[in-house]
């Protein structure tokens, strides 16, 4: 069999997992790829640390196993990109800065295939990288960029080519889901649940990108591009994270037979695309409500084949590495027959304010008689039907209660809140919390 040569840029948690699988499964992978898969070179600043993680021979590392400066690593990267001996490069350095972006483009320009788990890079700056791949007729494998070992990218790209995807929804961030699950099941406040997530290794010391919805948004941007052929920006999504979810919100969810989840949601309707990343009230008979802990899940609804659900581990060294290796094998075997771009469509992206959903609105107000009537009247004035009104929680000098609506637009709700502020500017203690109800 012809040799197919691989280089890895960055050999940390994920990169070392890739190297381990390539070495341990070399015979099986070569048979599947119909090429002799050869891991030829690794660029890593701290090779001894990387080697120790997964027993990787030091002679595979550029520099012979000694630590590298950033300048030395850069020279080796340049050398490998321009080498005739390398067919495919795995990028597991991470980040979306200019150096990483330029490296990805240069890999494609050099006629080499690229495999990466770098969701931020592809979501925020992928347009130039995909264009470089198309121009140079090389492939980009990025299965590991969304939900690690769950084969959602391949499912959308290949398994559903005979169907039309209507909606994609899912729990795409394990950290936020673990926190919300602990709040739900252990009756904890957010800070307590976050601390447990960090102690258990489910959250980073700086969990910002997980809890503010940005990590999940990067993944949804990629799924929407694949499912609908539309480029969505982070600014258009305006993600809302879970850091402001309180115990009382969990209680309100239970009252209407829901659980709160950070949901990524995109839907095609009448030539328009709606997408959002925000906490949602997920009905208990929706499968996503039962996805707990750090597990990820994706629900796809198709025009002809109906509902499909993919569930599994969305992170981890070997889980992510296994998806990267799957892309390597697939590209090695089929690269000559693969197309090198994602079809674009002319769908319009519509603002979330105009998409119809039932909503739960949580109000924090001064504790005065008639406050519920005042609020419900303003909601009714915007032609919104009310489904249920919760009992008031009287806490010191204020009251907290929720109102569940029938389907309406977010603009109608915003107008109702504006009316309350205009008529009684003294009653609202902070902005009401508005969460879609997902059936």
3-state secondary structure of 372: helix
pLDDT band at 339, cuts 50/70/90?
Answer: low
Q: Where are the domains of the chain?
A: 3-148+318-337, 152-313, 353-438
Short-list 228, 224, 244, CA closest to 179: 244
Short-list 87, 94, 123, CA closest to 2: 87
Residues 59/23, Cβ–Cβ less than 8 Å = no
Cβ burial 95-120 (10 Å sphere, 16+ → b, else e) = ebeeebbebbbbbbebebbbbbbbbb
* Residue 265 bridge partners (DSSP): 169, 276
Task: Note the pLDDT tens digit of each residue in 371-400.
Answer: 999 999 999 999 999 999 998 888 888 999
Residues 103/128, Cβ–Cβ less than 8 Å = no
Q: What is the structure's pLDDT at 252?
A: 96
pLDDT band at 346, cuts 50/70/90?
Answer: confident
Whether 3-148+318-337 and 152-313 share one fold: the answer is no
Catalytic residues: 219
CATH of 152-313, one of 3.40.50.720, 3.40.630.10, 3.40.1800.10, 3.30.360.10: 3.30.360.10
Task: Note the pLDDT tens digit of each residue in 133-187.
Answer: 999 999 999 999 999 999 999 999 999 999 999 999 999 999 999 999 999 999 9
CATH of 3-148+318-337, one of 1.20.1260.10, 1.10.240.10, 3.40.50.720, 3.30.470.30: 3.40.50.720
CA-based radius of gyration for the chain = 24
Phi, psi for residue 205 in degrees, rounded to 5: -60, -40
Q: What is the structure's pLDDT at 353?
A: 86
pLDDT band at 340, cuts 50/70/90?
Answer: low
Which contiguous run of DSSP H or E holds residue 165? Answer: strand 165-171
Q: What is the structure's pLDDT at 341?
A: 66
Across 284-422, the runs of DSSP E, i.e. the strands, are 295-302, 306-313, 348-349, 356-357, 359-366, 386-389, 393-395, 398-405, 408-409
Return the CATH fold of 353-438.
Alpha-Beta Plaits (3.30.70)
């Amino acid at each position: 069999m012809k040799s197919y040569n691989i280089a890895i840029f960055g050999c940390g948690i994920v990169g070392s997992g890739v190297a381990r699988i390539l070495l341990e499964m070399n015979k099986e992978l070569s048979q599947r790829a119909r090429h002799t898969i050869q891991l030829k070179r690794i660029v890593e600043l701290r090779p001894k640390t990387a080697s120790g993680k997964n027993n990787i021979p030091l002679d595979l590392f550029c520099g012979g196993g000694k630590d590298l400066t950033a300048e030395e690593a850069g020279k080796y990267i340049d050398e490998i990109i321009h080498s005739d001996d390398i067919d495919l490069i795995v990028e597991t350095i991470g980040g979306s800065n200019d150096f990483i972006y330029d490296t990805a483009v240069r890999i494609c320009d050099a006629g080499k295939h690229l495999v990466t788990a770098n969701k931020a890079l592809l979501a925020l700056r992928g347009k130039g990288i995909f264009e470089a791949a198309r121009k140079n007729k090389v492939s980009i494998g990025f299965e590991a960029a969304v939900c690690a070992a769950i084969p959602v990218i391949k499912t959308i790209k290949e398994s559903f080519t005979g169907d039309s995807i209507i909606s994609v929804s899912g729990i795409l961030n394990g950290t936020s889901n673990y926190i919300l699950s602990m709040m739900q099941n252990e009756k904890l406040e957010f800070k307590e649940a976050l601390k447990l997530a960090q102690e258990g290794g489910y959250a980073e010391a700086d969990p910002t990108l997980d809890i503010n919805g940005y990590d999940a948004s990067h993944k949804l941007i990629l799924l929407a591009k694949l499912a609908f052929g539309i480029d969505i920006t982070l600014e258009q999504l305006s993600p809302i994270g879970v850091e402001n979810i309180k115990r009382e919100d969990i209680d309100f969810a239970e009252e209407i037979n829901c659980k709160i989840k950070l949901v990524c949601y995109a839907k095609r309707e009448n030539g328009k695309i709606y997408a959002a990343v925000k906490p949602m009230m997920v009905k208990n008979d929706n499968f996503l409500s039962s996805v707990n802990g750090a597990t990820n899940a994706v629900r796809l609804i198709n025009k002809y084949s109906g509902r499909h659900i993919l569930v599994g581990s969305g992170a981890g060294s070997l889980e992510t590495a296994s998806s990267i290796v799957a892309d390597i094998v697939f590209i090695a075997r089929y690269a000559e027959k693969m197309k090198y771009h994602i079809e674009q469509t002319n769908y319009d992206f519509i603002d979330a304010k105009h998409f119809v959903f039932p909503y739960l609105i949580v109000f924090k107000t001064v504790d005065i008689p008639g406050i519920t009537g005042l609020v419900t009247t303003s909601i009714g004035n915007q032609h919104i039907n009310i489904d249920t009104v919760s009992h008031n929680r009287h806490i010191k000098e204020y009251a907290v209660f929720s109102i569940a609506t029938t389907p309406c637009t977010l603009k109608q709700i915003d107008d109702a809140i504006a009316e309350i502020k205009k008529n009684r500017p003294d009653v609202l203690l902070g902005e009401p919390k508005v969460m879609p109800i997902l059936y």
